[in-house]
Structure 1
Amino acid sequence: MFLWRKHSHDDHQVDESQQRDAKISELRTALGPLSGRSLMYCSDACLRRYLEARNWNVDKAKKMLEETLEWRSTFKPEEIRWHEVAHEGETGKVSRANFHDRQGRTVLIMRPGMQNTRSAEDNIRHLVYLLENAILNLAEGQEQMSWLIDFTGFSLSTYVPVKTARDIIYILQNHYPERLAIAFLYNPPRIFEAFWKAVRYFLDPRTAQKVKFVYPKNKESVELMSSLFDVENLPAEFGGKATLKYDHEEFSRLMEQDDLKTAKFWGIDENPHPIAKGISGGVEVASEPAPLPCPAG
């Protein structure tokens, strides 16, 4: 009897997997012929993410994916280069960490208190660039990234306008579905609550469930963070033991190198762009332990 139940469970898993593979094939057929970058973008893994985002409804996933392909054809996120957005990153308000979470996922560190410009367009291009970069640096087999958000220095003068936040949320949810694994908002101040109430309205339930508030005195939230991050790697700003330092010049060199990888991946013929004099870039550096490698994938 036990063996029969086990086999039934296995058979169910196989059947479900086959059904989902069939849905991927159905979506690919529904999309019709693709070429160029659209064809490269629409891998089976990509189609699976869009189907998951739309509860495996092929028609809804098709509409969502077609809107993304249209957006990518006009916004051209794969063509954004660091030297175009480096000025947005001078304070390290958004950067890729040099450590991973316990699942081996790429980590983006965000510091809204370090906001240094008021240009909505440039802020969005900067974030999109780093989203693309984080995806470029996902380990093999990884589809998602983690976010750590540090509210040190956050005030009414540094937060982005609600409209800009809404536009960012729209891009993340509709053009990068199932890319966010979890977002930790570490020790946000009370003044953030009103802003959160305004922007949460634009979050779909799937995304909202991935947003976790962590407070140093809340044992449950701290334990959740430590379950996903090694405290030895985690910067002190997030309750860890490492030292966080943002070096703009070092980060710029790293991004310039990744720009070459991006161009190669998408088949874009271009010459490396030297870091302009006076433009520095930054990297999140944890003093202990040594940084983990960031493999491309």
Structure 2
Amino acid sequence: MGTVSQEAIRELKALMDQVDEPLKRTFENVHQGYLTETLVRFLKAREGNVAKAHRMLLDCLNWRIQNEIDNILAKPIIPVNLYRSIRDSQLIGLSGYSREGLPVFAIGAGLSTFDKASIHYYVQSHIQINEYRDRVILPAAAKKHGKPITTCLKILDMTGLKISALSQIKLLTIISTVDDLNYPEKTNTYYIANAPYIFSACWKVVKPLLQERTRRKIRVLNGSGSQELLEIIDEASLPHFIKREGSGSGSSRHSGQGNENCFSLDHPFHWELYNYIKEQSLIREPIEPIKQGSFHVRVPDPPLERHEITATIECELHKLEHSNGLSDSVNGMKISCGDTDSD
């Protein structure tokens, strides 16, 4: 259970036993039968403080009820061409499993453009993948291996990362805030692959701002890091951009066959996810036709430390802009290194 004491777990469980029935129902979708592991996650996120972990959990459950998160897997993004466009610009996929049975999620952080739909669609897509992971992928892995599996690994490919990524900071802050406050401690380790200079420069100044438990989770690999990853993941479960070390293809959204490129809608994971959501929508609302439209989710305000991190990244990118002789704005967005507010 890490640094979390058994007494803290018992105290938090006693507090959660007292919540109203609506909160209990949505809490079941959160813990999926792994109550202790879930309590530990929230306690870790609040440094073992029971009162703060309880407050965080209540805020999370109320957020789920207010935004109908329990029903989000019955809200398909249609038509399929729109969903394909989102998959083509929000590069994420399940490449396989570690030797311990943890799902391995690959993220094309450098080449994701988030420019094919509104922010609401991308947030909806991200939460749907979170919920599908927690309600379908993780329980199936736990059943297969006969032990609790409640977390995953993530491999972030930084191929193609450019200064223009500044235009995506607002959306990425929204997504990371959703994860921090409502899906805490779901990732065991973040592996950073193919990191260019721009990442190294930002990492140097951001790393000291992170909490120690977060810093311990992040491992910056040497190049693609294939040898290091092969120590914990079989080759068949490595993302395509790791397998192709030296090919120069990186995490290109157009590289490889659909079954190999885990970012593609043609990959089994995404077809299974897409069809699961469509089936759930028909079960929940079998009479009414499925309507096109994004599922709006209210995003909690980011914690103060995230404002500081975001402002630091913006400032560092701004310095790199000037050092490269580029203009003072990216996509018309002015940056001030002395401004720590985020819109």
What's the TM-score, normalizing by structure 2? 0.61
- Structure 1 residues 172 and 18, CA gap change in structure 2 (3 angstroms): closer
- 1:92, CA displacement in angstroms? 5.9
Equivalent position of 2:44 in the other structure: 52
- Do the aligned residues in 2 keep the contact of 1:93 with 1:113 (CA within 8 Å)? no
Trace 1:210-289 onto structure 2 (pairs within 5 A).
Answer: 210-216=217-223, 224-239=228-243, 244-245=260-261, 246-251=263-268, 252-259=270-277, 269-271=284-286
- Structure 1 residues 125 and 197, CA gap change in structure 2 (3 angstroms): farther
Secondary structure at the aligned position of 1:248 is classed as coil
Number of matched pairs: 253
Unmatched 5+ stretches in structure 1: 1-12, 277-297
Equivalent position of 1:286 in the other structure: none
For 1:102 and 1:213, how far apart are their aligned partners in 2? 20
Equivalent position of 2:20 in the other structure: 33
For 2:62 and 2:184, how far apart are their aligned partners in 1? 15
Unmatched 5+ stretches in structure 2: 143-147, 246-255, 293-343
- 1:114, CA displacement in angstroms? 3.1
Equivalent position of 1:102 in the other structure: 99
For 1:201 and 1:160, how far apart are their aligned partners in 2? 24
Trace 1:50-129 onto structure 2 (pairs within 5 A).
Answer: 50-80=42-72, 81-83=75-77, 86=83, 87-91=85-89, 93-97=91-95, 99-118=96-115, 119-129=118-128
- 1:59, CA displacement in angstroms? 0.4
- Structure 1 residues 153 and 25, CA gap change in structure 2 (3 angstroms): closer
Considering only aligned residues, what root-mean-square deviation do their CA atoms show, in Å? Answer: 3.6
For 2:186 and 2:159, how far apart are their aligned partners in 1? 26
- 1:33, CA displacement in angstroms? 2.4
Whether 1:149 and 2:146 are equivalent positions in the alignment is no
- Structure 1 residues 147 and 18, CA gap change in structure 2 (3 angstroms): closer
- Do the aligned residues in 1 keep the contact of 2:29 with 2:70 (CA within 8 Å)? no
- Structure 1 residues 208 and 227, CA gap change in structure 2 (3 angstroms): same
- 1:101, CA displacement in angstroms? 1.2
For 1:255 and 1:137, how far apart are their aligned partners in 2? 10
- Do the aligned residues in 2 keep the contact of 1:110 with 1:149 (CA within 8 Å)? yes
Trace 1:175-214 onto structure 2 (pairs within 5 A).
Answer: 175-196=182-203, 203-214=210-221
Whether 1:137 and 2:168 are equivalent positions in the alignment is no
- 1:186, CA displacement in angstroms? 0.2
Secondary structure at the aligned position of 1:35 is classed as helix
For 2:7 and 2:174, how far apart are their aligned partners in 1? 34
For 2:238 and 2:271, how far apart are their aligned partners in 1? 23
What's the TM-score, normalizing by structure 1? 0.70
Trace 1:9-24 onto structure 2 (pairs within 5 A).
Answer: 19-24=7-12
- 1:254, CA displacement in angstroms? 1.1
- Structure 1 residues 18 and 26, CA gap change in structure 2 (3 angstroms): same
For 1:236 and 1:96, how far apart are their aligned partners in 2? 11
For 1:261 and 1:48, how far apart are their aligned partners in 2? 33
For 1:73 and 1:193, how far apart are their aligned partners in 2? 40
